Amino acid sequence: MNIVAVYARVSTVEQAETGYSLATQLDACRKRAAMLGAKKIEEFVDDGYSGEFIDRPALTQLRKMLANNNLSAVIVYDPDRLARNLAHQLIITDEIEQAGAQLLFVSVSFEQSPEGKLFYSIRGAVSAYEKEKIKERSMRGKRGKAAQGKIIADAKPFGYTYNKEISNYEINESEAQIVQQMYTWLTEEKIGTATIARRLNEIGVPSPRLKKPWIVSAVYRLLTNPIYRGTHVAMRYRYQKVSLNKRIRTLRPESEWIDIPVPAIVDTEVWQAAQSQLKANKSLAKRNLKREQLLSGLVYCAQCGRKMTITYAGKATDPKSYYVCMSQRSNSYIYTEKERCRARRIPCELLDQTVYEHLYQLSKNPRLIKQYLSNRPHPANTKNFITAIERLQDNEVRLVKQREMVLRWYRQQMIAEDEAERQLKEISDRINDVGRNLAKIREEMEIFSPNLSQKEIITAVTKHFALGDHSYEAKRAAVHQVLKKVIAERTDTTKAKASRPEIEVELKFT
């Protein structure tokens, strides 16, 4: 129910004057209330009371009613009617706002007047000060709690259960065993985080993210978290709400961190060894990257069309490299289990050799290249692609506008937060769809519009082999010059380790 309160006051002196009569005040306030669409108007009138004192019968009644939280607005002719001094004005204003009601003044000139400007700026400053004070107080509370060795907020670390009574963590035995296992794998078998994640998923160990597989970053975070050696670091991050449903996390300076002792799950020495091993793995991975694979960046999965990236398996000291469909990377959590394709990974060495060998055969027989290239769809017209791209771009613009509109509606309180969030999510899903389609079309367009002519490709291939430079750099340059895509698939189904994998390859020239 929309109940609006109206407050009017005249002092004994003012009673004699005409300008400030109760009738004038009440009349103006009632009109304002009607404009607001008030269903019921409660009138509070202090006739013959000075604004010097806050203790006035009608005002006291109004303040009592405010406490019941059922007023939507309080209308007063001007702040002077409410109280004669600023401090009282601010107190009453605060009470009204605390009660969830709106304070409205009829006199339009008030806001522009020097008194009005002072009133609003002081009110703003006071409320900002209040907010800061509350924040500071809660911060101080948190720090105090942490300084006493108590956990401020349960971050639900894997391996622990929060005990409310002691405000600290207790070891969760079954999860702690998994944590210990992970540290052992890293420090004794010296395997990498990706392998650890895969192992955990293969064994079917439940991850901290319920029902979702382990991802590399989660494994890495767990193996670097000092909590497992018995120190929880509190006040490490600062969280800020930046928009409707986005919060950003920033690292606080180390001097602000507070160490809280918790029960350790691994020995300090093991934890230290794990940190050194992670560092060693990192530099090994870097070395591996340098020994890049011939076709990296060119290989696509024949089953689902996604790019294949390089992955390492085996011991960290002797990793074997594979091309693996992107949808299966253990860290590609963007793909759900359903979206992951079943294509088998292909040993890099095998595919690199096969493709290079094939190019060699072609170089000896340019007619074969011609045959190959005649299958290449002619770039008849790229017009269709351009139209499609333009249509998608228009779509994107429309969606972005729609998003702005929803945000505006939300800010103007025309829609509720959950409704706004639902709509924003839907829009962002659609924007993502458009983005994906755009990328797909752009990529197709590239294939249909070759960079090199038949003749140029033949020349490049034959020239490379004629020069006889089979250094890695020369090979890589040649391959990347003439090939745009290598679409590959492992076709044998044998699982035995010694059996030689069979692959099928389709080349797309630039």
Chain residues binding Zn ion by CB under 5 A are 301, 303-304, 325, 341, 343
Q: Which residue has the tokens 């406490």?
A: 67
What is the spatial distance between Cα 45 and Cα 64, in angstroms, rounded to a whole number? 15
Q: Give me the sign of the Cα torsion angle 423, 424, 429, 433.
A: positive
304 or 452: CB nearest Zn ion: 304
> What is the Cα Rg of the chain in Å?
36
What is the spatial distance between Cα 431 and Cα 437, in angstroms, rounded to a whole number? 10
- Judged by phi (left if over 0) then psi (alpha if -120 to 50, else beta), residue 487 lies in beta
Q: How far is the CB of 327 from Zn ion (least distance, A)?
A: 5
What is the spatial distance between Cα 353 and Cα 486, in angstroms, rounded to a whole number? 13
- Token pair recorded at residue 405: 């509109």
Q: How far is the CB of 324 from Zn ion (least distance, A)?
A: 9
Q: How far is the CB of 232 from Zn ion (least distance, A)?
A: 41
Q: How far is the CB of 346 from Zn ion (least distance, A)?
A: 11
* Partner residues linked to 169 by β-bridges: 162
Distance set, CA 61 to CA 57, 67, 142, 297, 353 (Å): 6, 10, 40, 77, 91
Terminal alpha carbon distance of the chain? 71
Q: How far is the CB of 390 from Zn ion (least distance, A)?
A: 30
Q: How far is the CB of 325 from Zn ion (least distance, A)?
A: 3
CB contact set of 171 (below 8 Å; sequence gap of 6+) = 159, 160, 161, 263, 265
Contacts by residues 153-162 (CB-CB < 8 Å, ≥ 24 positions apart) = 156/208, 157/225, 157/227, 157/232, 158/208, 158/222, 159/228, 159/265, 160/227, 160/262, 160/263
Q: Give me the sign of the Cα torsion angle 460, 463, 467, 470.
A: positive
Q: How far is the CB of 301 from Zn ion (least distance, A)?
A: 3
Helix (H) or strand (E) holding 371: helix 366-374
Q: How far is the CB of 323 from Zn ion (least distance, A)?
A: 11
Q: How far is the CB of 326 from Zn ion (least distance, A)?
A: 7
**Which of helix, strand or coil describes residue 328?**
helix
303 or 354: CB nearest Zn ion: 303
Q: Which residue has the tokens 């394709």?
A: 341
